[in-house]
């Protein structure tokens, strides 16, 4: 009987130890099953549990990357943002200076054209003034040559005066000074100055019949109007 009690006592102690071992291993088996995607209660191999590569990993399987710094509003801060701002300001300054240069060039071109136009106008005004002062001399030559008698036209003095008169007309042509056509032309107040009216069978009414004083043009600009008589 004593032997039977000893055997039963040993069996009870073995059962208790087995239960304690079961309680100790059960939580580990559940954890390994959850990490490996297995159902609770399934046993895991010792080699798999000891492998550090099989430990629970909460990442997506890729390398761990550092997150970019965020601002107070949650937006990501770019490390190149300040450089881009500086670059934008530099580009704006370049565009501003380029626009100023273009404006100055345009103003200078307008100034150059305006100056050239003013110079041309001043030159024309000066030339017209000189021509206008010479015209009375030409008129005197014409009156003097017209008053020479027929028997004295071959005189050396008269011939010299005629050559001087023709030389003045040649200089006028080179300066683009030319007389205004009047006789036989329709009266035009832009070129003719009517001082009297006459009757004429040769010309119609409103036509210049007689030229009392010759008019001249300088580059299509009137230096002196022709003094004329117009048919009634």
At 191 the pLDDT is 92
What span, in angstroms and rounded, lies between the C-alpha atoms of 76 and 80? 12
**For a pLDDT cut of 70, what percent of the chain falls above it?**
65
What span, in angstroms and rounded, lies between the C-alpha atoms of 190 and 221? 10
Q: What confidence tens digit (pLDDT) does each residue in 73-109 have?
A: 555 555 555 555 556 888 888 988 999 999 999 999 9
CA distances from 98 to 94, 95, 104, 115, 190 (A): 6, 5, 10, 25, 50
50/226: higher pLDDT: 226
Q: What confidence tens digit (pLDDT) does each residue in 115-161 have?
A: 998 888 888 888 888 999 999 999 999 999 988 888 888 889 999 99
Q: Are strands 221-224 and 192-198 parallel, antiparallel or unpaired?
A: unpaired
pTM of the full structure: 0.51
Q: What confidence tens digit (pLDDT) does each residue in 128-141 have?
A: 889 999 999 999 99
Q: Tell me: pLDDT of 29 over 50.
A: no
Domain ranges of the chain: 178-232
CATH number of 178-232: 2.30.22.10
């Amino acid at each position: 009987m004593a032997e039977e009690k000893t055997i039963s006592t040993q069996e009870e102690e073995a059962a208790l130890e087995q239960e304690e071992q079961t309680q100790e291993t059960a939580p580990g088996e559940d954890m390994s099953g959850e990490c490996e995607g297995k159902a609770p209660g399934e046993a895991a191999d010792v080699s798999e549990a000891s492998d550090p590569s099989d430990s629970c990993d909460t990442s997506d399987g890729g390398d761990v990357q550092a997150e970019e710094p965020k601002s107070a509003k949650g937006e990501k801060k770019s490390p190149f943002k300040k450089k881009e701002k500086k670059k934008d300001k530099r580009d704006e300054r370049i565009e501003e200076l380029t626009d100023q240069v273009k404006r100055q060039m345009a103003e200078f071109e307008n100034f150059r054209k305006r100056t050239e136009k003013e110079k041309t106008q001043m030159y024309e005004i000066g030339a017209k003034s000189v021509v206008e002062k010479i015209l009375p001399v030409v008129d005197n030559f014409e009156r003097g040559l017209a008053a020479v008698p027929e028997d004295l036209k071959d005189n050396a003095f008269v011939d010299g005066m005629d050559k001087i008169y023709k030389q003045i007309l040649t200089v006028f042509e080179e300066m683009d000074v030319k007389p205004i056509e009047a006789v036989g032309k329709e009266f035009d107040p832009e070129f003719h100055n009517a001082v009297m009216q006459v009757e004429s069978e040769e010309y119609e009414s409103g036509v210049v019949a007689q030229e009392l004083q010759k008019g001249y043009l300088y580059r299509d600009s009137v230096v002196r109007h022709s003094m004329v008589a117009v048919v009634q």
